[in-house]
Amino acid sequence: MNAEILSIGTELLLGQIVDTNAAYLAQKLAELGINLYFKTTVGDNPQRITEALDQALNRADLIITTGGLGPTTDDLTIETIASCLGEEVVLDQDSLEKIESFFKRIKVEMLESNKKQALRPKNAKIIKNPVGTAPGIILEKNKKIIISLPGVPREMTAMMEETVIPFLKDSLGEKNSLIKSRTLKFLGMGESMVEDKVKDLMLNQTNPTVAPYAKDTEVHLRITAKGRTEEEVNSLIVEMEKKIRDRLGDFIYGVDEELLEALTAKLLAKKGQTIALAESCTGGLISHRLTNISGISEYLERGVVSYSNSAKMGVLGVKAETLEQHGAVSWQTAVEMAEGVRRASKTNLGLAVTGIAGPTGGSENKPVGLVFIALADNQETLWHQFNLTGGRINIKNRTAQLALRMLQNYLEKL
């Protein structure tokens, strides 16, 4: 079964509302093994809705519409669907009674226009709305299925869960399948490099498929498999994931919704390590991310934003001669920052960052994007240099991400 989502509403076209409905529906269709090839957005215009619906009927077996089921004159979905498919519009008495009962319950006068929400194409089945007034419809005609749902997300979601998903499962019968994805998250490699390392897997596989995505601070590889059972799909994904990890495992920091700060916090707990942070160019961003994790207070002793040279010297004990000879943005300063914050806090580890976030402050020898990250324990201090690109916020975010990844790598090897 091939599907298309048709989102109706001028407010969606103008960007006044983000279309979260389409994302939700796409996920649910994938879980059912229904192919989704198109998502269309159209304003509240009967001619354009008709054109979009005709196009969808030509290329999909299942069309799900959201929006346009309200009581106002610009809510045109039901009438347009009926017109496209040569259906008479009739008043659904059960729906009308439910709407009347709703207004009586809230003690508000029901307007004549509210009766509009009880209309349906003659051969359509009503989808009851458990949390609102506007019912939806299911219309099966000419070997096509049209499902129309309200645009209010909580109403649409409730109707999908209670009625539409069970209906689609019954419709698929023995053809029912499952589409599932797993996302591998990479740090330290660009999108083109990641793609080059797995290009043969991308080109030679149809099930599962592998696709790269570049994010602000990292790269994702999404593995998508289709099968009849959960076991079959999981087996396909695991096999492909192993092939990718054999090639690029050192650059993978997490999977799916896993956050780097959460993974790092778990490692601190598992390894019984405490840490203190000294941040310059990130301005407390690493501390912010770690303190988003509940329970981190047992392992994070302090975070110091040592932005000025005087703070680096006075709070962290960075030597004046180090700053004079090498500057605030240098591996020497980063090392002394990490060692100083560890010494002052009496923790197992000290993590420090210093760099030039820009857009000003760079020079030929030290350009914008130059960053040093240092990690000190009681035996040695490791440091890395990075030359990052992008705007100020992007450089700060990437620096925080790289620092957390450096900490994660260290903890994994303990």
What secondary structure, in 3-state letters, does the chain show?
CEEEEEEECHHHHCCCCCCHHHHHHHHHHHHCCCEEEEEEEECCCHHHHHHHHHHHHHHCCEEEEECCCCCCCCCCHHHHHHHHCCCCEEECHHHHHHHHHHHHHHCCCCCHHHHHHHEEECCCEEECCCCCCCCEEEEEECCEEEEEECCCHHHHHHHHHHHHHHHHHHHHHHHCCEEEEEEEEECCCCHHHHHHHHHHHHHHCCCCEEEEEECCCCEEEEEEEEECCHHHHHHHHHHHHHHHHHHHHHHEEEECCCCHHHHHHHHHHHHCCCEEEEECCCCCHHHHHHHCCCCHHHCEEEEEECCCHHHHHHCCCCCHHHHHHHCCCCHHHHHHHHHHHHHHHCCCEEEEEEECCCCCCCCCCCCCCEEEEEEECCCCEEEEEEECCCCHHHHHHHHHHHHHHHHHHHHHHC
Say if residue 34 is in the same domain as residue 165.
Answer: yes
Say if residue 187 is in the same domain as residue 159.
Answer: no
Count of domains in the chain? 3
Say if residue 89 is in the same domain as residue 234.
Answer: no
230, 255, 280: which is the final residue of a domain?
Answer: 255
User: What percent of the chain stands above pLDDT 70?
Assistant: 99
Say if residue 194 is in the same domain as residue 318.
Answer: no
Question: Residue 247 maps to which CATH number?
Answer: 3.30.70.2860
- Average pLDDT, whole number, for the chain? 94
Residue 173 has pLDDT above 80, yes or no: no
Say if residue 231 is in the same domain as residue 362.
Answer: no
Residue 362 has pLDDT above 80, yes or no: yes
Its domain, for residue 249, covers 178-255
Say if residue 202 is in the same domain as residue 339.
Answer: no
Say if residue 234 is in the same domain as residue 338.
Answer: no
195, 229, 255: which is the final residue of a domain?
Answer: 255
Say if residue 281 is in the same domain as residue 209.
Answer: no
Say if residue 58 is in the same domain as residue 112.
Answer: yes
Say if residue 220 is in the same domain as residue 311.
Answer: no
Say if residue 206 is in the same domain as residue 251.
Answer: yes
Residue 30 has pLDDT above 90, yes or no: no
Query: What's the pTM value of the predicted model, to 2 decimals?
Result: 0.74
Tens of pLDDT along 218-275? 999 999 998 888 899 999 999 999 999 999 999 999 999 999 999 999 999 999 999 9
Question: Residue 146 maps to which CATH number?
Answer: 3.40.980.10
Say if residue 16 is in the same domain as residue 154.
Answer: yes
